Structure 1
């Protein structure tokens, strides 16, 4: 048999070989680092025997698939430790996830954070025991009997949901056996760097109707240095948590009277409106017109759009004059109504319509998270109506606009092309045309992308932009969705050059995504220390004592006249305290004024970036900061925290 490796080289064998044996044949080092295999696109276990020609990739921890197998093994070590320490605990599920793993447990007395240290110690013992991990399979009925014997009701339920002819996979290490499809490492010895990070409640199978279990989260790495680096990032992320900083900086709040419905405070509204002003500027330049559509529309509209059939469980509905209405979860049907208010010809197209529309979606209470996952938010939507010939150029135009915006904030990003999902509308031919158009636009822009199979919207394929923040975390924000279906369902038309009626093509796109979520990302990206142009307060004037309040207010008046956001700190506090307080509030500039400054008509400038920047005339400072704001410059912070 011929085994074609990732680099194109070919290995030939006369008998079946396991993935691990092939790795060892290539090199001892690769075998030592191998965590999983992939045959013809399917991720498999290192133990799996290969007996026919195929393409083989051998994964290490450096690949997502390899890290997944490594961390999945760690979750089993966690479960084994829990069963040793707390034998009456029932096992639910324990998958690997991005950056780590978790395991759900049912225990009469829920775990506490104090238990985690004890469990970790037991996990280290299991690693030192270097237990061999073995896979075996059983027919369904025997598998059920085994899990009943071990008194694992959740495992029994999972098996009972499988087909009667299913062959059930298990993994065994020492005295511990778990229902699992794998893949896993060959033994426990390799998992030396791990940490249990947190506890959470989790409903069995994600349903609020089921029992609440305790979820233990953790992470693992092949080297302690990598684990330490990751944990340091987690601590930094806690400091940057937008919920914490949002409260400290007076930006927003979410009250128990409205879970998932954020309230923006005065400083937060300055931040939000500044972002919206920027959005309007770039969209006006790109040829968009702005519209506003109703927050509530009748059932017939949502039936026509397909949302009533495909999205109703996420919609808030009511009855008005004995007719069903829904609060809009999306802006697109309203944009279509605007398009249909007047006839159009090919000369009107492309027609780019932007809308900063507030939408509402019902999210489960357990999924709510600050500004990142809410029930009410503003989408910076735009809908582009075009001819088929214009698709590629319009997609490229949107991609360039998104690149301009993300680059301004210093974000890196990667792109995913999502294809037809199982629950979808329209013919395969339309889907193929739409998907090919998106792919072609990305190719011509030379934008690298990955295919995300089956994750498109129900009405068309999409391009998603995942931006990366300063901590290396990724967030899905921008999206471009090509739609052949809604123009058909709403019978949209335009008069083409041949004088006949044709159907326009529609693009749905956002740049920020949800403005609320984008603000949450910005808070964490900048740790609340926004660039001067975005900062709710750009300058704090600090009089050394009450004698200089009048001069301080004269300085503030000139700043405000130049449209610079500022205030005067007139508190009876020492100047050092005022400076520290301004820094804690992440204010970019502090102007200290006392006898010398008043006498010479100057200001002493301190910044969040360099500390003491010396004295200069107020006019000079105003000219400099005005230029910084105009250019939306991001000054690098060179001053150590607390200086």
Structure 2
């Protein structure tokens, strides 16, 4: 694939850069198409991204529709067929500024003023369209063969909410049509797995703008799943010596000043509330509350480690564009815990946390994940607590522990918490990009800030080390992950409806009621469909809305024989004795069989 650089050099594109160049060129071609259709359009930035490309454009009062996006894509195809050569040129600052002024490119002019040290600027031209850019690009527009405009959204100029809201038009581009078609298949799969779609079909949760964006509400079916996850992880923790607490959803601003969150995390917190001369905030995390619980009484080294756990309600002011159902909201519940340990206990406690993570992953058949040691960026004094010695000690300590435990990991700069390094376990879901599910953070900072102590063997006061850890992450996100992995077909122990009882007609309704009552008496979540619909419709409804592991189809034959007809998710039907079926289901629940 031939590409052209800003100095006019034409060369073969390095293989690892091909998609980036394709997508960067696609952004320019899209901008040219927009300019043809909307001559007053004023362009901001238009980069290639990991998944495609976009251009931010000021269209004045014009609001684009889906039909408008289709028209822009059609014009792009026309430009590609014209096979316009893409040519670079370089101008000194004064001539470049004059060109942008003549073309009324106000955002480019402002960008040039931000680059005060630049004495010259490079441009790329295709036909009548000129764009300020450092390249490289394809040599002809016809070389772009497979692309699609995907959506539009709003974006602030320079990502600053004080600036004007622009229209961001997104697209994707690939080497060929086959790659584009494969991407479209993946998108269809993602739509089918989308936890928001499945959550609505299964009546798991809802949102309403009157309540507030990013504030999901769990419906009865969804809350059953949520409670089962809560009970599951709490039992795991209790078996390992955790003590569970409950703390308030708000705290004083002074609490978060002490912890450092007010200085380092304030932009992600809800605004302060003034009451009786005191300022309060909705808490974004739970560590300050747990620090105060530890500080509530003196401790001896003999009592450590102390493991404090909580399923805690937290609130973070996420931007509206990042909100996504229960995967990312402004309210969520963390499976949080803080372990107060001596320095000598760090290795064993980190090992125990990792063992718990991998034990949980085994239960849920999570196999596609990787471990990351997240470190600070030493140059970023604003984001991170400024104590080089503490950071060097904490990072090396966690690195050594993970190495000794034989845990394979990569290191990433700039991903640490503001107070310490952490182990992140990133999962790769069935669709979409990977994200962090579990984490274990090593903290020498907050215990010192809160003046936490314990009496050591020699009678001296020492400062404990704190491990912050979350196994399921937030229950909300973990539930979203499970929904998308299983397409809502939860294992029996998690399913909100474990058995759907379906009488074939009114003649078998009384028998169906008897069966349903016996299932409920055995502790099984059974639901009886008493509607007058045909059995085929009842089965389809149970498959789509309830996605129950089992359906009992009860007709005259079952009434006469005094047994049941069991239909599983695969559509396989088996005649069974009711008591045997109850024993089977109870065994699946007790052993948390992952039959999805």
TM-score, normalising length: structure 1: 0.85
Flag the 1:75–1:437 CA change in 2: closer, same or farther, 3 A.
farther
Aligned mate of 2:33, from 72, 75, 81: 81
- Relative to structure 1, the CA distance from residue 478 to residue 187 in structure 2 (aligned partners, 3 Å threshold; closer, same or farther) is farther
The answer to whether structure 1 residue 419 and structure 2 residue 372 are counterparts is no
Q: Which moved further from structure 2: 208-217 or 154-163? A: 208-217
After TM superposition, give the deviation of residue 571 of structure 1 in Å. Answer: 1.1
C-alpha displacement of 1:605: 0.5
Q: Deviations over 1:147-203 (max 9, x none)?
A: 222211111112212233465444444443323344545554543121111122223
1:288 is aligned to 2:252 = no
- Cα gap change, 1:83 to 1:254, in 2 (>3 Å): same
Tell me, in whole angstroms, the C-alpha distance in 2 between the residues paired with 1:191 and 1:231: 18
Report the CA distance between 1:111 and its aligned residue: 2.6
Secondary structure of the residue aligned to 1:97 is coil
- Of the candidates 230, 233, 250, which is equivalent to residue 276 of structure 1? 230
Q: Is the CA contact 2:500–2:548 (under 8 Å) kept in the aligned structure 1?
A: yes
Measured after TM superposition, the shift of residue 623 of structure 1 is: 1.9
C-alpha spacing 1:535/1:339, structure 2 compared with 1 (3 Å): same
Indicate whether 1:382 and 2:337 are aligned.
Answer: yes
- The 1-side partners of 2:164 and 2:428 are apart by 36
**2:96 alignment partner, one of 140, 143, 147:** 143
- Deviating more after overlay: 521-530 vs 438-447: 438-447
Partner of 2:353: 398
Matches within 5 A, 1:240-319: 240-259=193-212, 260-313=214-267, 314-319=269-274
Q: In structure 1, how many angstroms separate the alpha carbons of the residues matched to 2:525 and 2:9? A: 65
Alignment match, 1:338: 293
Q: Determine the C-alpha separation between the residues in 2 that align with 1:431 and 1:333.
A: 20
* Contact map agreement 1:461 1:481 (CA 8 A) in 2: yes
Please say which of residues 470-479 and 168-177 is displaced more in the overlay: 168-177
| SS of aligned partner of 1:355 | strand
Structure 1's unaligned 5+ residue stretches are: 1-31, 37-43, 51-57, 637-643
* 2:475 counterpart (502, 515, 522): 515
Kindly state the Cα deviation for residue 93 of structure 1 after the two structures are TM-superposed: 1.3
Give the Cα separation in 2 of the matches to 1:543 and 1:549: 6
> Does the aligned pair in 1 maintain the 2:3–2:10 contact within 8 Å?
no
SS of 1:436's equivalent in the other structure is helix
Once residues 494 and 511 of structure 1 are traced to their aligned partners in structure 2, the CA distance between those partners, rounded to angstroms, is 27
* Alignment map for 1:541-552 (pairs within 5 Å): 541-552=501-512
Matched, 1:158 2:111: yes
The CA distance in 1 between the partners of 2:556 and 2:195, in whole Å, is 40
| 1:35/1:59 contact within 8 Å kept | no
Kindly indicate whether the alpha-carbon contact (under 8 Å) linking 2:454 and 2:461 is maintained by their aligned counterparts in 1. yes
- Seen in structure 2, the aligned counterparts of structure 1 residues 184 and 444 have a Cα distance that, compared at 3 Å, is farther
In 2, are the aligned partners of 1:140 and 1:164 still within 8 Å (CA)?
A: no
CA–CA distance in structure 2, aligned partners of residues 107 and 165 of structure 1: 29
Give the secondary-structure state (helix, strand or coil) at the position aligned to 1:195: strand
Which residue of structure 2 lines up, in the alignment, with residue 352 of structure 1?
307
Secondary structure of 2:168's aligned partner: strand
Q: Which residue of 2 aligns with 1:560?
A: 520
Distance in 1, matches of 2:71 and 2:494, equals: 46
Specify which structure has the bigger relative contact order, considering alpha-carbon pairs within 8 angstroms and separated by 6 or more residues: 2
Shift of 1:383: 0.9
Unmatched segments (≥5 aa) in structure 2 = none
Contact 1:74–1:220 (8 Å) recurs in 2? yes
What corresponds to 2:583 in structure 1? 623
Deviation at 1:622, TM superposition (A): 1.5
Q: CA offset at residue 589 of structure 1?
A: 0.8
Instruction: Kindly state the Cα deviation for residue 594 of structure 1 after the two structures are TM-superposed.
Output: 2.2
Q: Could you say if the C-alpha distance between residues 561 and 212 of structure 1 is closer, same or farther in structure 2, counting changes exceeding 3 Å?
A: same
Q: What is aligned with 1:535?
A: 495
2:572 aligned counterpart, secondary structure = strand
8 Å Cα contact 1:316-1:361 kept in structure 2: no
Verify: 1:201 aligned to 2:154, yes or no: yes
Per mean C-alpha deviation after superposition, the further-off stretch among 130-139 and 347-356 is 130-139
Match of 1:7 in 2: none
Change (3 A) 1:465 1:71: farther
Decide whether aligned partners of structure 1 residues 376 and 48 sit closer, same or farther in structure 2, where only a CA change above 3 A counts.
farther
d(CA) in 1 for partners of 2:272 and 2:535? 56
Partner residue of 1:94? 46
621-630 vs 333-342, which deviates more? 621-630
Displacement of 1:210: 2.9
Give, in angstroms, the shift of residue 454 of structure 1.
Answer: 1.6
| Structure 1 contact 131–174 (Cα < 8 Å) conserved | yes
Classify the secondary structure of the residue corresponding to 1:482: strand
Find the aligned partners of 1:631 and 1:145 in 2 and give their Cα distance: 74
Which residue of structure 2 aligns with residue 53 of structure 1? none
User: Residues 35 and 70 of structure 1 are in contact (CA less than 8 Å); yes or no, is this contact kept in structure 2?
Assistant: no
Of 452, 463, 470, which residue of structure 2 is paired with 1:503?
463
Which residue, out of 583, 591, 615, partners 2:552?
591
Asked if the contact 1:358–1:377 (Cα under 8 Å) also holds between the matched residues in 2, the reply is yes
CA contact (8 A) 1:424 1:459 kept: yes
CA distance in structure 1 between the partners assigned to 2:143 and 2:342 by the alignment: 57
Distance 1:406 1:185 in 2: 45
**Shift of the alpha carbon at 1:287?**
2.6
Alpha-carbon distance between aligned partners in 1 of 2:562 and 2:304, rounded to the nearest angstrom: 57
**Equivalent of 2:163 in 210, 221, 233:** 210
**2:438 corresponding residue in structure 1:** 478
**Per the alignment, in what secondary structure is the counterpart of residue 459 of structure 2?**
coil
Over 3 Å counting, the alpha-carbon distance change for 1:196 and 1:166 in structure 2 is same
Cα-Cα RMSD:
2.7
Please, what TM-score do these two structures have when normalized by structure 2?
A: 0.91
In 1, Cα distance between the equivalents of 2:298 and 2:122? 62
The range that moved more, 245-254 or 384-393, is 384-393
